[in-house]
Each structure stands twice: as structure tokens, then as C-alpha cells.
Amino acid sequence: MADTYSPVRVSAHGGHSGQFCLHASDDLESMVQEYIRQGFAWFGITEHMPPLQDQYRYADESEAGISSAALQEQFELYVKTVKHLQQRYSSRITILVGMEAECYPGSLEYALKLQQRYALDYIVGSVHHVRGVNFDFSPAEYVRATEVCGDIDALYRTYFDEQYEMLQRLKPAVVGHFDLIRLYDPDYPRRLATPGVMQRIERNLAYIREKHLCLDLNMRALLKGAAEPYISRPILEKALALGIDILPGDDSHSVSSVGSGIDAGTALLQELGYGCVWKRPDRHQA
Ligand SMILES: [Zn+2]
Ligand SMILES: [Zn+2]
């Protein structure tokens, strides 16, 4: 009788907490305890990197009047706190200390500096800005980013070009929500398949393969009402055919979203024939 391998639960992208992120809730320790309760083998806490300058704050941070300098100080406290929790719970679970990096002018150098200064286990390389506009915060900002690029096809192309630059500079062990640019576009399956976009996707995937980076199968999309996770299925199938490693991520922003979608994501990967023997990102060698 063949052995049936049952994959362990992991999350390589998540643990945004109300303690260190304005658009998240609950304290970080409660979230850690929830990962333990759910029997995770390991998980990464990957708080958003602080903004380099005030103009790159998220909308809620600027509305609340919190300066980039204050957010940078808060990040230092985040690293101290998560390292303390890593030690405190080390006999029960492996916690990796990471950061979700941004992509706007100056952010890549800054991300590398932070990684070195705080000896982070790994980086999740994400793109939440196109031409400096934070497109994922609201539909209105998505429209603004589209206008800055010219039209929506150009928005997609620019997104994947900026992502390519980020991949080359950061070589992040985990690439966050690869096709996030589809977020507010109901017509995304067609748009992703247009030649000018698909060529860029294939170029980026080839680079990810070459550098042995992993893709985040980001399940938070489902909580926000999307029909499928990031990465969308045609891209996921291409990535698997290239032999790219995938890691599920809950992208949790509260205790109640810890572990959300991890089992569904794992089941999807198994259905597509992926072994689900997870490659821990802190062992990544770029
Ligand atoms: Zn967030
Ligand atoms: Zn993100």
C-alpha cells in the first residue's frame, strides 16, 4: 500500500498584528498562541516594512498622522518583540522573523538595510505600489495608479516590470502574492493572458526559478472575496511546471485569520500534483 503523505501546516507570510500594523488587529502573542493551537509546524511573522518617507505611508497611517520616523521606531520594537516570542515559545513551535518589503523609489535599498540591521530570517518581496502609488489600499487608488500608467494594460505591465526589478535587487526568499495587481479588476483572467503581460510573467517566473525563490500561495484573497488565491491558477500551473517551490501563506491580520485557507491551499497544490514538502525560507540561499 502506498504511503499517503500528509503535509504539515505552515505559513510563510502572515502575522501582521494590531500591535504593529494599523490595519490589523490583536496583539502578536495571541496570534502566536493561535498558530500553536492549530498545530503549525512553523510559521513566519512578516510585518510590513516601515515607510522610508512620509509620502509612502499607507493611507490609514497618514490619516492617523503617524510619521514615517515613528513607524520606523515601531518596527524596531516589532523585531524585539517577535524575537522575544521566538525564544519564549521555542520548545513548542519554530517562529521565523521576517518582513514584507515594499517596492517604490528607494525602498529596495532600505529593505536590504533593514534585513541586515535586524538580522531577519528572510524577506517576503511584495509589490503594493506601482509608480509610487499604493494601488491595493482602495479602488480609488487603483484607478489613480492606472491613470499614472496610462491604461490598465500598462498598469499590469508596469507592475510586473517593477516586480522584476525587486526580484533582482532583493532576491526575496518568498515572493508575496505574485499577481496582486489583478485585485480590483474583474476582467483579470483575460488581462493576465495578454501577450505583453504574459511575457513579463514568464520572465519573472524564470528568474524566480533560476534563483530558487519560493512563491507565496496567498490565501487571504479568499477572505477578501476573491474566487481564487494569489497566484491565479494558470500562473500557478506554469510555476509548478517550471519546478518552482510554493509556500502557503495566510497573510493573517488578526487572531481570527490565523491559519485561514492554509488547508484549502495545500489541498489545491496536492490536486495539482505538488508534493507539499515545504522549503523553509530561512534556509534559502540566493
Ligand atoms: Zn497588511
Ligand atoms: Zn502584501
| CA 82 to centroid of ligand 2, rounded, Å | 19
| CA 15 to centroid of ligand 1, rounded, Å | 9
Asked whether residue 192 is assigned to any structural domain, the reply reads yes
Considering every ligand atom shown, identify the ligand nearest to the alpha carbon of residue 180 and give its number.
Answer: 2
Range of the domain at 74: 10-281
Considering every ligand atom shown, identify the ligand nearest to the alpha carbon of residue 126 and give its number.
Answer: 2
Kindly state the cell numbers that stand for 236. 500557478
| CA 3 to centroid of ligand 2, rounded, Å | 36
| CA 1 to centroid of ligand 1, rounded, Å | 45
Asked whether residue 254 is assigned to any structural domain, the reply reads yes
190 burial class (0-12, 13-18, 19+ CB within 10 angstroms)? exposed
136: domain CATH number is 3.20.20.140
Considering every ligand atom shown, identify the ligand nearest to the alpha carbon of residue 16 and give its number.
Answer: 1
CA triplet 181, 26, 116: central angle to 5 degrees? Answer: 60
Considering every ligand atom shown, identify the ligand nearest to the alpha carbon of residue 218 and give its number.
Answer: 2
Q: Parallel, antiparallel, or unpaired for β 133-134 and 129-130?
A: antiparallel
| CA 273 to centroid of ligand 2, rounded, Å | 27
Considering every ligand atom shown, identify the ligand nearest to the alpha carbon of residue 135 and give its number.
Answer: 2
| CA 23 to centroid of ligand 1, rounded, Å | 6
| CA 6 to centroid of ligand 1, rounded, Å | 30
Position 1 scores a pLDDT of 46
Surrounding ion ligand 1 within 5 Å at CB are: 16
Asked whether residue 17 is assigned to any structural domain, the reply reads yes
Bond prior to 231 in cis (omega within 30° of 0): yes
Residue spans of alpha helices (H) in the chain = 28-37, 59-63, 68-88, 107-117, 139-149, 152-170, 188-193, 195-210, 220-223, 233-242, 262-271
First and final C-alpha spacing in the chain: 39
Asked whether residue 120 is assigned to any structural domain, the reply reads yes
* Cα distances (Å, whole numbers) of residue 129 to 115, 162, 221, 258, 284: 20, 9, 18, 25, 26
Give the predicted TM-score (pTM) of the model.
0.96
SS3 category, 103: coil
Asked whether residue 3 is assigned to any structural domain, the reply reads no
Q: Are 228 and 172 in contact (CB under 8 A)?
A: no
| CA 195 to centroid of ligand 1, rounded, Å | 31
Asked whether residue 130 is assigned to any structural domain, the reply reads yes
Looking at the 3D structure of the chain, how many domains does it have?
Answer: 1
| CA 4 to centroid of ligand 1, rounded, Å | 36
| CA 221 to centroid of ligand 1, rounded, Å | 12
Of all helices (H) and strands (E), which one includes residue 134? strand 133-134
Residue 280 exposure: Cα atoms within 13 Å on the Cβ side: 13
Asked whether residue 2 is assigned to any structural domain, the reply reads no
Asked whether residue 5 is assigned to any structural domain, the reply reads no
Q: How far apart are CA 183 and CA 18, in angstroms?
A: 23
Position 145 scores a pLDDT of 98
Q: What is the mean pLDDT of each run of 10 residues along the chain (286 residues)?
A: 76 96 96 97 98 95 96 97 97 97 97 97 98 96 98 98 98 98 97 98 98 97 93 98 98 97 96 96 80
Q: Are 20 and 257 in contact (CB under 8 A)?
A: no
